[in-house]
A and B are shown apart, each in its own frame.
Chain A
């Protein structure tokens, strides 16, 4: 593995990790923008814009874009989160330049009115689809409640209303202010020619104009509010818990991930043994999510309405025990083994590697080898985890439940 980096004069960073033994290569444009960078009026624009990039440029129609990707056999897509929009493709090495060139062109989209109007329907269908996925819906609602006015609570999809009111002009303004080269990273991983990618970037992205781009970076402690929302067509109780954590820049993020695994990994965690193994809840998981300048622990639990009180009592007990007795050495070791295996296996694929490579640069502006991450995880001590528990009190959470009408 060989790491390379370069920066164009307009601020576009290009990074690559070359692995000549890989059978494929992956490329991504990591744009540092998401729903947290939106105002209420244009909520959902980042994600809608991500869809609109596939609609082509002044020279390419939407169908031509899709055909151009499919001619390379690329597995390509994009995703938008609260703070990142990522466009990626995994391809055979011989197609990487072609696909990168295509992405580079798409980063300067036409944003035509007629495409905007049709795609608005697709976005509304996507909003409707997630409404029928309560496991997702509950997290979205809990995030809003937890961040309580902090921009990280902004919904990625937006609402039927905000999308309905959004204009193509507003989207073009948002695009102009956020898709600046100095707010993006072009990353490649796997089997590719670094020099080729660099000259491609210079030719195709060199004329993009630098901008001043800002983001509010306040930490959020979370509202700790508790709410229940009824939806008559639901059968199970879906519960989301959120509490504050460290940021993506904080070295303690590794300890926070391990704490999430100890409490809420799918199997073998405290949630698992107390709730799932005992068949009180069919799903109970907790994950730590590090963000720009802040972070959050997020749990999802699904159970019958009859078991809710018992389940929440047990959850409280788990967090109380955590404060009282901390975590055990062997618990931490198991969590490390699980996280390390998953990390190493994921990074064996260029596409898996690309994601870590791009995000590490987005948040830290530096290269982290897999070994750096492995060593950081191995170095976490029980005391590190204890001081996190003490500072962030994960048992002191925001709670949102989504479930059927209660029988009175």
Chain B
């Protein structure tokens, strides 16, 4: 597969990445702003969510409505998310409108209006989102799980904390934007149909004069508690379970990914087969790799009716523990082809690629080519995965449950 990546660094350190795609008419772009949940000052949990809304409520010479109309007028399919490390904002669109879109997003990042009345509305919506989590136990259990599993503040809730949101002011939120929208740490990525020289020239004009922010190192706290139960009289017990594994920068990263695929890659993988197909314990069951720059884990979810909760958890933990005892060649082969094909299928989407190259650059400091990833996947074997599991046994699980019944953790 012929691949080339574009890269340019502005004088202020902002990185511009690109991946041209021949077969598409669309383009997708994203800005990764280093103001994710874990980057916030203590006592401001949820501020990233407020900020991600607030900066869209008017920017440059446009008020909230004019800005939104301009974005919609260009037919942007908007994307906005808050993660542990970044607020990501971007869009997918018809490639002819890219330049005008970048002008709008530069205003949103560099000169948001940040009006007080608009702050109150953004904050209220963020509070409502936290309250709504009580009606979505599956999402809530996974947010709680990350919080308990990762050393603080890496797992800090990306949705927010009610009390801290209530205490948040326009002034301290404005200060967070000033401190954290640090262009030297901002990553811009674009994928699809675009002209890289044009993009760079435009971004130089828009962003290069801006100098702000310092890179702050983060102090990590302790991992919290082994088991947390949250009472909710719903129909199911929602089980979230996480255990530590190697980071994306680790040489064993691909062995870990293959091991997780054997456990939960496809419908023939062990968790689906043992928990759902053979025992009928769950509808939703799965585990996946969850990697941050500073720590990583295997994250597992299962939802089941209260009487089956204990058996479900025991069965899952049993499968984790059994993994190191032996894996067949066929399992490894299926895991490899599954990972490789999902990689290639995702590579057809401009949005996926823009996201992937940005995240690679942040975590690894470089962009991996699809060929490199394929080769690394191919290089794994039964022996290498088992050796990895022996050297990195699952040493404990962080478990969170929400529902009418608790489970016992050994």
Contact = CB atoms under 8 A, between A and B. Distances in A.
A63 B277 contact: yes
Interface string A11-27: 00000000001111000
Given A70-B269, A125-B282, A129-B236, A345 B134 contact: no
A316 interface: no
B233 interface: yes
B132 A282 contact: yes
B280 A63 contact: no
A73 B340 CA distance: 8
B337 A234 contact: no
B234 A233 contact: yes
Contact of B77 (A70, A71, A341): A341
Contact of A268 (B69, B122, B125): B69
Contacts of B348: 22-24, 348-350
Contact of A279 (B94, B121, B338): B121
Contacts of A234: 134-135
B137 A118 contact: no
B283 A129 contact: yes
A113 interface: no
Contacts of B233: 232-233
Contact of A121 (B132, B281, B345): B281
Contacts of B234: 131-132, 233
A92 interface: yes
A276 interface: yes
B69 A334 contact: yes
A74 B341 contact: yes
A304 interface: yes
Contact of B284 (A74, A129, A236, A278): A129
A277 B121 contact: yes
A62 to B, nearest CB: 6
Given A73-B337, A233-B233, A282 B268 contact: no
B344 A304 contact: no
A133 B137 CA distance: 8
Contacts of A66: 266-268, 272-273, 277
Interface in B54-82: 57, 64-65, 68-69, 71-78
A90 to B, nearest CB: 6
Interface string A219-240: 0000000000000111110100
A283 B134 CA distance: 15
A108 interface: no
A58 interface: no
Contacts of A303: 128
A54 B267 contact: yes
A36 interface: no
A119 B276 CA distance: 8
Interface in A111-133: 118-126, 128-129, 131-133
B132 A302 contact: yes
A341 B96 CA distance: 12
Nearest to A350: B348
B297 interface: no
B186 interface: no
A21 B22 contact: yes
A67 B268 contact: yes
A128 B268 contact: no
A307 B106 CA distance: 36
B92 interface: yes
B380 interface: no
B261 to A, nearest CB: 9
B48 to A, nearest CB: 17
B364 interface: no
Contacts of A283: 132
Interface stretch (B23-31, B107-115, B392-400): B23-31
B305 A124 contact: yes
B235 A131 contact: yes
A72 interface: yes
A303 B350 CA distance: 35
Contacts of B330: 67, 71
A49 interface: no
B163 to A, nearest CB: 16
**Number of contact residues on A: which range applies?**
35 or more
Contact of A340 (B75, B236, B278, B284): B75
Contacts of B25: 344, 348
A330 B73 CA distance: 9
Q: Which of A122, A232, A283 has the most CB of B within 10 A?
A: A122
A236 B135 contact: yes
Interface string A351-363: 1000000000000
B180 interface: no
Nearest to A269: B72
Interface string B74-104: 1111100000000000001110000000000
B410 interface: no
Q: Which of A92, A273, A277, A340 has the most CB of B within 10 A?
A: A277
A273 B66 CA distance: 12
B23 to A, nearest CB: 5
A395 interface: no
B122 to A, nearest CB: 8
B266 A69 contact: yes
A119 B68 contact: no
Contact of A349 (B57, B279, B341, B349): B349
Given A233-B232, A302-B132, A282 B269 contact: no
B344 A92 contact: yes
B319 interface: no
B333 interface: yes
Contacts of A41: none
A238 to B, nearest CB: 7
Contacts of B265: 70
A304 B333 CA distance: 51
A73 B337 CA distance: 5
A406 interface: no
Given A118-B279, A337-B75, A344-B25, 20 more contacts: A23-B345, A24-B348, A70-B265, A71-B333, A72-B337, A92-B344, A92-B345, A118-B277, A123-B283, A129-B235, A131-B234, A235-B134, A236-B135, A279-B128, A283-B132, A334-B69, A334-B73, A338-B72, A341-B26, A341-B75
15 contacts: A21-B22, A70-B265, A73-B341, A73-B342, A75-B341, A92-B344, A125-B280, A125-B283, A125-B284, A125-B303, A132-B137, A236-B135, A267-B68, A279-B128, A344-B25
Sorted nearest first, the 5 A-B pairs with minimum C-beta distance are: A73-B341, A121-B280, A337-B75, A70-B266, A66-B268
Interface of B: 22-26, 57, 64-65, 68-69, 71-78, 92-94, 120-122, 124-125, 128-129, 131-132, 134-138, 232-236, 238, 265-269, 272-273, 276-284, 303-305, 308, 330, 333-334, 337-342, 344-345, 347-351
